Structure 1
Amino acid sequence: MSRQNLIPITIVITWLIGCAAIFWWFEYRYWGAYDKQLIQFDTQAILELYPILKQDTGNQPLVVHFKDDECPCERYRLAHLSGMKTDLQGVRQVTLSQLDQRLAQISIPASPAVAIWDHHGVLAYFGPYSSGMTCGQGFDFIKIVLDKLSQNENPQWVNNQGFGCFCQWKEV
């Protein structure tokens, strides 16, 4: 191979490696297993959130969405929720961001995440929205839990099985 051909090949290879690194940085650096985030998660903290949020839930389950507006994974959560409008009818929903004062003493491991309480105030689910790479792909955990609650069954499930796009919450 001549020196004349070596320079363009080196430039192309360097450009491809650079593009791959940039793509990873902007797209895949937030992808990982949710269980890494749950290692130091105290479930007692999430249980203490219900009395703060319960305000007249009546006989409805309470679904709490945890979001981080600075997280690029938020776009997947919003797309998933827009497709779930009918599934979420008949439940009270609250959306909390990392800076919400109601979360002052409560540390959530990562977002997007969701917590669901039954109409008695017993935690039915905490964890990622679904089992797929993005919210809405794979098994839809929210739909599964809401279906169980409609049958008067509470799975009491703290899920650490998700893999996808998550942003670890910073200590506030």
Structure 2
Amino acid sequence: MHKVHRNVWVVLLLACWVAGLVWALTWYESRYIKPFERPALFDGVSVAPPFEAAAVQVLHVWQAGCPCNGGHQAYVNEMTERFAQQGVLFARSGQRGLDALPQALRQLPYWPMPTAWSAWPGAPAVAIWGADGRLAYVGPYSDGASCSEDSSFVEPVIRALLAGRQVDITRQDTVSCLCDIEQSEPGE
């Protein structure tokens, strides 16, 4: 009889261990193994830009630890430095911490995501305002997991705005490499 009780306990412990492993694997898959290249609707509700209107402004929306960042980091650094020299103002939003941010983003002022944009579909992405303060573009840097000057959606928008032309790409369906944005607590 004693051996039967022991066998029951061993089976119960083994069942709990297997259930724990199944839960851990399910949690891991839901958190880290998911399609990052997905359809998304960017619907940019017009909000005031991070700075006073007078210059073209770009808001980098970034999520640290996102696998989609890797193909964008070099471009974001280069593009930010190049257009800053032409008078474009830059800020960053998304996750607040400085870890794993491209060098150019670490130096930018943090601008909290407006509550009107609570349904923002993910990062890395960007919002761009014209010098008149009107929202001109919301969306991804490109349609893939990497971005360059040749594949960028951002380059033509900034160039058009700097040339004084109007741009209105504030609502678009796209397929892009995006991660969910996890807002940090204030003070982080």
Q: Same fold (TM over 0.5)?
A: yes
Report the Cα distance in structure 1 between the residues aligned to 2:33 and 2:72, rounded to whole angstroms: 15
What RMSD over aligned residues (CA atoms) do the two structures have, in Å?
3.0
Cα 1:83/1:43, change in 2 over 3 Å = closer
Question: Which of these residues, 152, 156, 161, is aligned with residue 149 of structure 1?
Answer: 161
Unaligned runs of 5+ in 2: 1-30, 97-109
Report the secondary structure of 2:112's partner residue.
helix
Question: Which of these residues, 51, 68, 73, is aligned with residue 78 of structure 1?
Answer: 73
Report the Cα distance in structure 2 between the residues aligned to 1:137 and 1:162, rounded to whole angstroms: 19
Question: Is the Cα contact below 8 Å between 1:128 and 1:159 reproduced in 2?
Answer: no
Counting matched residue pairs gives 137
Partner of 2:112: 102
Cα 1:101/1:147, change in 2 over 3 Å = closer
Report the Cα distance in structure 1 between the residues aligned to 2:165 and 2:73, rounded to whole angstroms: 28
- Bigger Rg, which one: 2
Off by >4 Å, runs of 4+ in structure 1:
25-28
Report the Cα distance in structure 1 between the residues aligned to 2:126 and 2:37, rounded to whole angstroms: 17
Percent identity of the aligned residues? 27
Report the Cα distance in structure 1 between the residues aligned to 2:43 and 2:142, rounded to whole angstroms: 21
Report the Cα distance in structure 2 between the residues aligned to 1:154 and 1:145, rounded to whole angstroms: 9
Question: Is the Cα contact below 8 Å between 1:131 and 1:161 reproduced in 2?
Answer: no
TM-score, structure 1 normalization: 0.65
1:92 aligns with 2:89: yes
Partner of 2:36: 30
1:67 aligns with 2:62: yes
Deviation of the 1:64 alpha carbon:
0.2
